[in-house]
C-alpha cells in the first residue's frame, strides 16, 4: 500500500536529483520521470522509489562514450623510431 510518505513535492524531488524545479517539471511533462498529482490540491508529487530508479539509470556508464586517444609513448620520451 502506498503512503503519502512515499512521495515528495517538486522542491524536494528537484533537490534529490540536483536539478531545478523547472527542469523537473519539463522532464515530467515529457515523460522522462513519473509524476503524480495530489488529488486534494493538484501539487506535483514524485515517488521516492521513482527518483532512486531515475538516479540509478542515469548513473549507468554510457557504452557509446568516446575513448581517450592513445598516445605514442616513444615520442613522448624523445625516442626516435
Give the pLDDT confidence of 20-35 residue by residue, as tens digits: 999 999 999 999 999 9
Q: Which helix (H) or strand (E) element contains residue 9? A: strand 7-9
Give the angle subtended at the CA of 63 by the CAs of 76 and 18, to the nearest 5°: 100
Which pTM does this prediction carry?
0.69
> Contact 8/51 with Cβ under 8 angstroms?
yes
28: which 3 cell numbers?
Answer: 515530467
Domain annotation for the chain: domains and CATH numbers: 1-81 (1.10.1660.10)
- Over the stretch 64-74, which tens digit does the pLDDT of each residue have? 555 565 655 55
Amino acid at each position: 500500500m502506498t503512503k503519502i510518505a512515499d512521495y515528495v513535492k517538486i522542491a524536494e524531488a528537484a533537490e534529490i536529483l540536483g536539478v531545478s524545479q523547472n527542469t523537473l517539471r519539463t522532464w515530467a511533462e515529457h515523460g522522462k520521470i513519473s509524476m503524480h498529482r495530489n488529488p486534494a490540491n493538484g501539487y506535483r508529487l514524485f515517488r521516492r522509489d521513482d527518483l532512486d530508479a531515475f538516479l540509478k539509470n542515469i548513473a549507468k556508464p554510457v557504452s557509446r562514450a568516446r575513448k581517450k586517444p592513445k598516445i605514442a609513448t616513444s615520442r613522448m620520451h624523445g625516442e626516435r623510431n
